[in-house]
Structure formats: structure tokens, C-alpha cells
Chain A
Amino acid sequence: NAGVTQTPKFRILKIGQSMTLQCAQDMNHNYMYWYRQDPGMGLKLIYYSVGAGITDKGEVPNGYNVSRSTTEDFPLRLELAAPSQTSVYFCASSSTGETQYFGPGTRLLVL
């Protein structure tokens, strides 16, 4: 049972480069989320989606974009990477919007 999967596990980007973090879930959950976790800090919500075709901003959306064309996938796009985007990124999904199930994370280093 795969649950929530994320790729890649680790990536190094140069300043100004772009990349897409992939997230997929096989639980048929309508709700999906992207968080970032900075060292020693809690998680901050970047974007979320309540269903295919519907996305909304979270607490820290600047510098990111998302799309939700299918129930299963919720990619996060970084345009013009900056050192401030160095973080660990977690994707999560939920059937009800309450209990969330997290992926293993993507560690991103921007140099």
C-alpha cells in the first residue's frame, strides 16, 4: 500500500533554476496539501486542494505554484529558486480534511 509518495527525495538547485516536486496518493483522497518544514520549525502550509481542479493558497505561497488535474497527483512548482526555499517539503492527503497522511518528504537545497 503506497499511500502518499513524493519524488525526488533530495535535490540541489542553483539560484534561478526551476523544478517540480511530485506528489501522488492512491487513497482516493480529495484533500491534498503542500507544507514546508524549516530546520527546528513546525510545518507551514504552502498550497492546498480540496479536489481536482481546485487549489488555494496557504500561509506561505510566494514563489510556488500548484495544479491539480487529477485526484491522485498534486505537483508543486518552484519558479526561480532562491536560497530561502531551502527546506524539506512534505505532501499530505486527507479524505475528510482533518486527519492527514504525509509523504516521506523532499529535501531541497538551493545554492
Chain B
Amino acid sequence: GNSVTQMEGPVTLSEEAFLTINCTYTATGYPSLFWYVQYPGEGLQLLLKATKADDKGSNKGFEATYRKETTSFHLEKGSVQVSDSAVYFCALSDRAAGNKLTFGGGTRVLVKP
């Protein structure tokens, strides 16, 4: 079956530091890949996505590249802000599995001033 593995948190950073959150996946088909963000007390919001190999998703300074050869979709941001403190979820959607989302366990990020 499909699965998503992402690095455990919490990740604690200072403002303006570089952020990387690793995500790898296992899928039987050709999935689309997503990063969702959950701010404290809120629901999940789509941060970025990529639908095929070598695609790069980007939004709000975050980027992730769909790497089929390493089955990875690592999230990066060059200079984090306190407002980036949240839980980040990697997920995949597999058309062969009815487009249901499979989520990783989430990575909590805390950015300190």
C-alpha cells in the first residue's frame, strides 16, 4: 500500500534560518505529492503541490521538488519567520487508489525570534 514518511519533530530554528523537512513516499502508481500546513488551532491548508516527476511546487517562499528516483519530496525554505511556526504534513494522492490522500505523521516547526 501507499505510505508517506517524514522526519519527526519538533524542529526548532531561529528566525532567518534555513528549513528542510524530509519526506519520502511509497506508492504503487504515479502519485501527486502535497505539502499541507496546519497553524495552531486551525485546519490544514494546502501549501504546495507537484503532480509529476521533476515538477517543483512553490508558495510563500517554500519549495519542494518531486524526485521520482529517490521517491522524495523534501520541503525547503531559505529564511524562516516566526509566522512559519506550524505543523507541516507531506501527503500523496494516488489515482490508482481513488485519489485518496495518504498523510505523513507531520513535523512540528517552531521558529524563535
| Count of CB-CB pairs between chains A and B under 8 Å | 51
Minimum CB–CB distance for A4 against chain B, Å: 8
Inter-chain CA distance A68–B100, complex, in Å, is 18
A42 is an interface residue with CB less than 8 A from chain B:
yes
Q: Are A102 and B105 in contact (CB under 8 A)?
A: no
> Provided the pairs A98-B32, A98-B93 are in contact, do residues A43 and B43 lie with their beta carbons within 8 angstroms?
no
Q: Are B34 and A99 in contact (CB under 8 A)?
A: yes
Query: Which bucket holds chain B's interface residue count?
Result: 20 to 34
Inter-chain CA distance A80–B104, complex, in Å, is 30
Write out the residue numbers on chain A whose beta carbons fall within 8 Å of the beta carbon of B101: 33, 43, 45, 100
Listed A/B pairs (30) with beta-carbon separation below 8 Å:
A4-B43, A31-B99, A40-B105, A41-B105, A42-B4, A42-B103, A42-B104, A42-B105, A42-B106, A43-B44, A43-B89, A43-B101, A43-B103, A45-B100, A45-B101, A58-B100, A90-B43, A92-B44, A94-B99, A97-B98, A97-B99, A98-B32, A98-B99, A99-B34, A99-B49, A101-B46, A102-B36, A102-B44, A103-B43, A105-B42
B positions within 8 Å CB-CB of A: 4, 32, 34, 36, 42-46, 49, 51, 89, 93, 98-101, 103-106
A positions within 8 Å CB-CB of B: 4, 31, 33, 40-45, 48, 58, 90, 92, 94, 96-105
